[in-house]
Amino acid sequence: MHIHKKQIKLTIVCFISIILLTGVSILAYDVGSNLLLQIEIFSEILQKIQLSYVDEKNPQELMQSAIRGMISALDPHTTYLTSEQFNQWSKQYEGYTGIGITYDVIRERITVMSVFSGGPSDKAGILVGDRIISINGKSAIGISREEAPLLLMGPKGTKVDLTIERKGLAETKNIVVICDEVHLDSIPYIFIIQPGVGYIRINRFTETTEEELEQGLNRLEAQGMRQLILDLRGNGGGYLEAAVQVVDKFLPGGRRIVYTKGRTEGSSHEFFSTNQNTHPLYPLTVMIDRISASASEIVAGALQDWDRALIVGETSFGKGLVQTQYLLKDGSSLLMTTARYYTPSNRLIQRPYDNISLEDYYREVTDDVAREEWENDPSRPIVKTQILKRNVYGGGGITPDIFLRSKPDTISTVVRRILSSPEKYFFTFIEDYMKDHSELVGKDYNQFLKNYTPNGNTLQLFLKHIRELGFQITNEEFVNNKKDIEFVLKQHIASKIWGDEASYKVEVMRDYQLLETLNYLSQSENLIAQSYGRYRDY
């Protein structure tokens, strides 16, 4: 790539002009720092690199590196995203336009792993297990995982002409799917976990969280729910407004939910509950872990401070910085910290990050020893809850009322290797297996969940299947991992017959942290009785 000297000068001049135009107030504010001289030095260095450095460098990439270097001097959560990165990030919370499936490339074919309920593919008749062999008249066989989304996503109204192979059909089938808005479920699982006890898992806080939660609560209450477990484990956050709306479901009106404080006048806000959508004040248990962050911590912190919920699990991440989105002219974005979150009892959610490397900042979350040192730090402030005046910890993150440490991955290394293989051994085996075992389809799901275990013949068929596809495993390894293999086979059978939620209910049977939480429901009952009166309606 040859860059003319005039181009370099033009780039530098434009860069300086932009900074001078947008940064006049900065220069006026601190003339002593001689910021203009530093900008000139930066420009001179950029020019010398472009003209004389041993390897040719892209000036745009150098500028992005310089931006990221500047941001690295701020806090761990201020971030600069290119336009591509920002679009990908936005999909987590705002959704996207496409055909509404998840997929993998198995045996060189795009294989539909799930279909979003009510989405474009669902309406068009696409089924889990369908293999897409052609897209808009062009073969999709052998397509890479990176190429596929470029062909399966598009503006609303775009027609995507698919040719699919389907088990049980002798011929291929043509289906036209019209791209539409696809919203990723904020709340994937809502069910009665045991008589009278509801369970709701929130994966992320998005623009649809409030609506999904309202529908879920109404459904569970109609099924006789008398208390609720709200699972926020692994939830890294999302929209502040969504977190406030969630808390508003569980608190009487007029309670402060969260407030923010920043350097500028417009960055400080207070958020209060209303009586518009408040549900009956039944016992509530909230599960958090070390990955629960930001919006999750707002929810847990507010409900703990108002003595509304028993918090169980692990101390949360400690991410209490407000990021404001600044969309830039080239489609990139600056997510810049403009304020800090505080709970109703004035606890700062953000964990300390000054005088600590970025590596150590994140190590505090993943390393058990560092985690315990932080949790047991005697200098951590203790504050009182709003109603019962219980002691709760400040100094970053939300510390649970009941500690339930997560256990290491219960799936063995051998089975993890089988699961992570691109051959998707379990998925392909169950596809063929179910053709000859249709009797499973008619089973009562609850009986299946309690009593079904794949028998010895099923295990032998699975062993034969993976070996024929090239997976290396000894008889001894297979026998030693028998229980894990039975468990994963049961999950895949449940998913094939009853869907994702059924598969998750199988997973719950080995979720020791959740099962242990069920033992503390009486404490949630005592908490609500002391703070609001037993089963009050408000």
Query: How far apart are alpha carbons 49 and 187 in whole angstroms?
Result: 50
- Of 135-139, 362-366, 404-408, which one has max mean pLDDT? 135-139
* Token pair for 168: 């049980």
- Taking all residues of the chain, what is their mean pLDDT, rounded to a whole number? 85
Confidence of residue 28 (pLDDT cuts 50, 70, 90): very low
Choice among 173-182, 333-342, 431-440, 527-536 with the minimum mean pLDDT:
527-536
**Is 515 in contact with 503 (CB distance < 8 Å)?**
no
Choice among 242-256, 345-359, 455-469 with the minimum mean pLDDT:
345-359
- Assign residue 77 a region: left if phi > 0, alpha if psi is -120 to 50, beta otherwise? alpha
Of residues 16 and 45, more confidence is placed in 45
Give 509's contacts (C-beta < 8 A, 6+ positions apart).
Answer: 449, 515
The enclosing H or E element of 10 equals: helix 5-22
- Is 319 a residue of the active site? yes
* Token pair for 423: 């051959």
135-194 pLDDT, tens per residue? 998 898 988 776 787 788 778 888 899 999 887 788 898 999 998 887 777 999 999 999
Choice among 33-47, 268-282, 385-399 with the minimum mean pLDDT:
33-47
* Token pair for 187: 């709340």
- 249: pLDDT strictly greater than 90: yes
370-379 contact pairs (CB < 8 A, 24+): 371/290, 371/315, 374/315, 375/315, 375/399
For the chain, residues classed under CATH 2.30.42.10 are 96-182
For the chain, residues classed under CATH 3.90.226.10 are 189-407
The enclosing H or E element of 103 equals: strand 101-106
Q: Which of 43, 186, 273, 294 is catalytic?
A: 294
Query: How far apart are alpha carbons 503 and 486 in whole angstroms?
Result: 13
- Is 316 a residue of the active site? no
Give 489's contacts (C-beta < 8 A, 6+ positions apart).
Answer: 426, 429, 430, 454, 458, 459, 462
Give 422's contacts (C-beta < 8 A, 6+ positions apart).
Answer: 104, 105, 106
Q: Which of 180, 231, 305, 484 is catalytic?
A: 305
**Class of the domain covering 189-407:** alpha beta
Name the CA dihedral angle for 104, 106, 112, 114, rounded to a multiple of 10 degrees.
-60
256-292 pLDDT, tens per residue? 999 999 988 888 999 999 998 899 999 999 999 998 9
Q: Which of 249, 273, 307, 319 is catalytic?
A: 319
Confidence of residue 536 (pLDDT cuts 50, 70, 90): low
Query: How far apart are alpha carbons 129 and 110 in whole angstroms?
Result: 10
Query: How far apart are alpha carbons 165 and 485 in whole angstroms?
Result: 28
453-504 pLDDT, tens per residue? 999 999 999 999 999 999 999 999 999 999 999 999 999 999 989 988 999 9
Confidence of residue 63 (pLDDT cuts 50, 70, 90): confident
Choices 3.40.50.12280, 3.40.30.10, 3.40.50.720, 2.30.42.10: CATH for 96-182: 2.30.42.10
What is the mean pLDDT of the segment spanning 208-231?
96
First CA to last CA distance, the chain: 70
pTM of the model: 0.80
- Is 292 a residue of the active site? no
* Token pair for 33: 């720092």
Query: How far apart are alpha carbons 380 and 453 in whole angstroms?
Result: 49
**Is 75 in contact with 353 (CB distance < 8 Å)?**
yes
Choice among 17-21, 64-68, 293-297 with the minimum mean pLDDT:
17-21
